[in-house]
């Protein structure tokens, strides 16, 4: 069998090299290497002025010099011709920070095209929020507020959904975006926007049905016939609650989770499970839930009649969501491949919060929609 010739050009993979022939201090050179400054690295004027004012690199010291992180030093080495302090500098810095390679590549990719990413260590009041902050390429970091809070992760990092929720809420309260940069084992970076949404639909939830419709529904449901994976209700009168069940065989077929929901939240024969509480919140929002097994999630969620529109969201309860970024990235990629948004449902007290994660690229000066 002859392999077909590829008709498209593979994406070029960016690589960076170190100029080890030009390291250390040399009085004949116009640009001198940075010098140690505590845990940071110091560059003197006049180069420091240009790096800080034009590129938002480092933080300015009283004498006009700037202090840089090791990842910023590498960025300056690659893009501003700044020599490294010595030939073994990278190995020494890796011993201090084993994630330096990841951070340097993320900074390099994130600054592509003129975006200005500044490590939060330069803004002590923001260190609790994230790894860095970002100004868009058409903004002035000396005059304008930053637009984004930037966190970073590797694909193998274990994630904490509650911490992610707190970060997104803090960013929202500050009127900035939450951006996540994930780096994989191939040293390739994928960027995401993360935000809180309030999915809503136009279907009639249980608490808005007329009392006569509620009574009729419960009478029909009480006469159901159990099946292997739920129940079947043969209909001799209209089915009054369109959010529950699938029309089939001159009746209504219910999933087991729908029967449990009715028992827990409506009839109240048993204490509600977390799943039933989540279903209750979604159904009260006027949404329609259908199984999402084809998309690797619990539900595909419609904001109206499924015969009239596609499901905008794929919703996954946090307990069933991936525990590493590798799994989350896969879920988001699958969702966007079928033109849907991937959302994680997270409990917070008596309420539910919906965290949307979408892929993003530099240069887009607006939130993911």
Render pLDDT for 296-317 as a digit per residue (tens, 0 to 9): 999 999 999 888 889 999 999 9
Domain ranges of the chain: 204-280
Looking at the DSSP bridge assignments, the partners of residue 356 are 195, 343
Nearest CA among 133, 138, 126, 30 for reference residue 81: 30
**Buried/exposed code over 92-125 (b: 16+ C-beta within 10 A; e: otherwise):** ebeeeeeebbbbbbbbbbbbeeebbbbbbbbeee
Tokens 């507020």 belong to 145
Give 103-134 pLDDT, tens digit per residue. Answer: 999 999 999 888 999 999 998 776 667 899 99
Give 229-263 pLDDT, tens digit per residue. Answer: 999 999 999 999 999 999 999 999 999 999 999 99
| pLDDT band per the 50, 70, 90 thresholds, residue 29 | confident
Give 347-360 pLDDT, tens digit per residue. Answer: 999 999 999 999 99
What is the model's pLDDT at position 367? Answer: 44
Tokens 């307990």 belong to 319
Nearest CA among 154, 145, 141 for reference residue 111: 141
How far apart, in whole angstroms, are the C-alpha atoms of residue 357 and residue 331? Answer: 10
Annotate 351-366 with DSSP letters as a single string.
EEEEEEEEEE-TT--S
What is the CA 213 to chain-centroid distance, rounded? 41
| pLDDT band per the 50, 70, 90 thresholds, residue 79 | very high
3-state secondary structure of 49: helix
Nearest CA among 275, 295, 278 for reference residue 342: 295
Helices (H), the chain: 47-55, 70-79, 89-96, 100-110, 161-173, 211-222, 256-261, 274-284, 325-337
Count the Cβ atoms, other than its own, within 10 Å of residue 61: 16
What is the model's pLDDT at position 284? Answer: 98
Query: Strand locations in 136-265, DSSP E?
Result: 148-154, 177-183, 189-197, 225-227, 230-234, 246-248, 251-255
How far apart, in whole angstroms, are the C-alpha atoms of residue 301 and residue 203? Answer: 12
How far apart, in whole angstroms, are the C-alpha atoms of residue 192 and residue 332? Answer: 9
Give 326-342 pLDDT, tens digit per residue. Answer: 999 999 999 999 999 99
Q: Kindly report the length of the chain.
A: 369
3-state secondary structure of 178: strand
Contact (CB, 8 A) for 357 and 167? no
Contact (CB, 8 A) for 356 and 195? yes
How far apart, in whole angstroms, are the C-alpha atoms of residue 55 and residue 33? Answer: 18
């Amino acid at each position: 069998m002859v392999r077909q010739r590829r008709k498209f050009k593979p994406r070029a993979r960016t690589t960076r090299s170190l100029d080890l022939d030009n390291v250390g201090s040399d009085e004949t050179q116009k640009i001198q290497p940075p010098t140690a400054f505590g845990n940071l690295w110091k560059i003197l004027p006049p180069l420091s002025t240009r790096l800080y004012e034009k590129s938002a690199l480092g933080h300015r010291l009283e004498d006009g010099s700037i202090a840089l992180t090791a990842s910023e030093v590498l960025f300056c080495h690659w893009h501003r011709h700044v020599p490294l302090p010595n030939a073994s500098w990278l190995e020494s810095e890796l011993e201090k920070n084993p994630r330096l390679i990841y951070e340097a590549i993320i900074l390099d990719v994130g600054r592509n095209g003129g975006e200005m990413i500044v490590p939060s260590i330069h803004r002590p009041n923001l260190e609790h929020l994230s790894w860095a902050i970002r100004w868009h390429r058409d903004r002035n970091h000396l005059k304008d507020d930053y637009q984004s809070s930037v966190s970073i992760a590797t694909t193998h990092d274990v994630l904490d959904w509650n911490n992610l929720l707190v970060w997104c809420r803090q960013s929202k309260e500050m009127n900035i975006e939450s951006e996540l940069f994930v780096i994989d084992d191939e040293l390739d970076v994928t960027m995401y926007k993360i935000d809180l949404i309030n999915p809503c639909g136009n279907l009639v939830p249980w608490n808005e049905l007329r009392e006569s419709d509620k009574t009729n529904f419960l009478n029909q449901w009480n006469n159901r016939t159990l099946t292997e994976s739920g129940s079947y209700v043969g209909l001799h009168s209209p089915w009054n609650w369109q959010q529950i069940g699938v029309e089939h065989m001159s009746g209504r077929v219910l999933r087991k989770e729908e029967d449990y929901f009715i028992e827990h939240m409506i009839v109240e024969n048993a204490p509600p499970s977390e799943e039933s509480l989540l279903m209750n919140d979604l159904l009260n929002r006027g949404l329609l839930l259908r199984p999402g097994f084809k998309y690797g999630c619990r539900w595909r969620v419609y904001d109206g009649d499924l015969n009239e529109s596609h499901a905008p969201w794929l919703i996954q309860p946090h307990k069933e969501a991936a525990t590493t970024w590798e799994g989350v990235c896969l879920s988001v990629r699958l969702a966007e491949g079928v033109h849907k948004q991937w959302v994680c449902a997270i409990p917070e007290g008596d309420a539910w919060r919906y965290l949307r994660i979408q892929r993003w690229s530099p240069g887009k000066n607006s939130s993911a929609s």
